Chain A
């Protein structure tokens, strides 16, 4: 069906469904948080409940119309980029937090609820939802599930997957299913909900999410260590983990990133440092006190030029939120900002960081690197200009080398942002033929006509 017919038919068949069709309305939905991809859709619809989603999908499946699910469009791999002639299904109007169950420590939310709303609702009940991606004020919980997003607390608390107890999903043929429940233990059949976590909208549309919560940690301590050399920061991370401490946060910023964040947030980061480590430990007050002291000592022993301890909760929040803006702040430097997501086993971190720096120098590129050091998840960010074709060529070459090296070290091409469009060319090498073949079989089994987010992850 051609795009005009598709949108006209929707207006006629689903009169109560909000639907955008004009170019001025569609253009703002022609991209997500990923640099340089743009593609117009045929229409954007805003269902308000799961039933509407199911009815719509049953119809689009019959018509053979491709559908791209979109949360807040903060994705960093082009996952919610429309495909040609597709219908964008935007979930931001299905956004209620439905229930916080303090007896079972669970929270039920609609997929379009923002991560921050979920975290706040949990906190309101004295509970804790740990995954906190940098985009959490905007990103939807459904998008977090679809990308299996991480955050700043991954080292101790894991990623989104570790908190999913159940999902309501609309399947590619329009059927509405519930997967999972509030039971801590459940081995009745395949764990199907896990299939949809990290599936990037290619297998089904998540409409509700049942999350596991934790008691809120009683105490938290935030430290900021400054280093004159990057490898000293990496050594500190290794030493902390070797000392059997699992802090909730071990985030680092390099010099370029520090400057950009400071330009925006003015939190007093030391601009002359080569690296800073943001470290956070939480839990029982006595343990927090002890671990905080140990981390300070270890940082100093490994060459930290200064270690600052946040004196108030506000100061701690300010430091952490400054870190959250690192990626966007890097965009100050140059017109085009391309973020990578290479991840290696923690033990290989120092080698990976060195390699990134050498590769950038070799190709005469500006790269700001920050990331989740405790998770081995780095975000080398290329500061470039899409009009400069020669430089863009070098960026692609450098990216390829970085991915190859990450794979060589037993790592992966993406730790948390997903494959989408951006990592598609690198997937075969990262996972191998057998694994990729299995992914294709799963996709064919669930979505034989290739209508949900076609062309993402693999062709």
Chain B
């Protein structure tokens, strides 16, 4: 009996905790976004984040897209031969990549790479009182630390995903042409015939949302980091886990919005 009660109270406490953190995150997001539109702007910090979040994520996003495109061609080919539907390979590759896999996988990779490093960096600044020091030097930490990261994440992820789209489709193309003996002209025309603007655009909008979420979670958990190395460690884990889960949830919601 007490076990059941304990379990219930644990579940209740978890749900209450979740609701209150959703509230806190929403408030944090609102405050951060309000600071995006009011100066002073820290352009140098923004450019540093463009490089950190955008440029340095290129290799990992590119590799992910390349191998995903390749395996997609292989899998759909071996699967579709059972239905004599090999002709659909090009279409399946391009739609899966642009609509789903490039944004979601890029989002998850960036969550691991960028979300973690943002949480660790800002968390360390919190723990070592650097954020307090910013305030005493009349610089608003939201404008100096949070805004550049949010803006860079939201703008850079669509660019990364667009590049990922190209690389992923190219990965499928290489496998199809060189291993599965598709004809070059046929594969390309099938790809282009299947693809519509909305497929790419929806993927890029998803990417922007994911970029915002990843940087938001990194900033939020870092900014509210507990004390000491342990606090920063927990902040980093929470940032990666929560942004990954939010990417998956928002991916479903956005897909529903775009395609139903």
Is B truly associated with A? no
B positions within 8 Å CB-CB of A: none
A positions within 8 Å CB-CB of B: none
